[in-house]
Amino acid sequence: MKVAIVLFPGTNCERDTKHAFDILGCDTQIIWHKEREICADLVVLAGGFSHGDYLRTAAIAKFSPVMQAVINHAKNGGYLLGICNGFQMLLELGLLPGAMNKNVNLSFISKYHHLKVASNSNKFLQFCKKDEILNIPIAHGEGNYYIDVNGLNELKENDQILLNYCDKNGKILNPNGSVESIAGICDKSKRIFGLMPHPERACEQILGSDDGLKMLKGLIC
């Protein structure tokens, strides 16, 4: 499977992401944000930062030349994954609903955090059990996901909520203020996925968890 990982000025997880998909046996390549064409089965907008984040996360990145190729890939039915800053980009592009606010404590958070699988009726989480507890790192300053009541109801009706923040026992533990403790969502077609946690940082037990590998494996099978 061909995986293209988009690199922006400030991205700092592209090599981690490539390593994760290399472990899974994928043909991976890192694409500079000024490229105008992408040839891949899966496109990943990796985590980190992007130029212009000081205005609003991904506010400038969405105008990069590569973004038209990203949009075309999605329109043509390709799979698309946005991790952390990449999730923020998908929201800015309107490929996923909602928006991001600053964390409620106004501080950058970087630590392992537990997640509950809200839905596995999608390619991304097909190897996870519903209500399974995963241990995945988070690292963000603007991960407070917001969507209005109508939008939230639509997410629920279409089974688009993928992950919720929780403690090790599965009880809600919200680190950033996200609406209903949402950590990840998908679009209605279940081909576009966005999450704030970093599965690529949890792909080997030596790192503390390999739960992220189980998540990413779903996208290539």
- Point out the residues that are catalytic: 84, 198, 200
* Residue 129 DSSP symbol: P
74-79, Cβ contacts within 8 angstroms, sequence gap of 24 or more: 74/191, 74/192, 77/189, 77/191, 78/40, 78/41, 78/42, 78/43, 78/191, 79/41, 79/42, 79/43, 79/123, 79/191, 79/192, 79/193, 79/219
CA 30 – CA 18 distance, rounded (Å): 8
How is 6-39 classified by DSSP, letter by letter? Answer: EE-TTB--HHHHHHHHHHTT-EEEEEETT-----
Q: How far is the CA of 90 from the CAs of 38, 162, 187, in angstroms?
A: 17, 15, 10
CA 205 – CA 88 distance, rounded (Å): 28
CA 206 – CA 105 distance, rounded (Å): 31
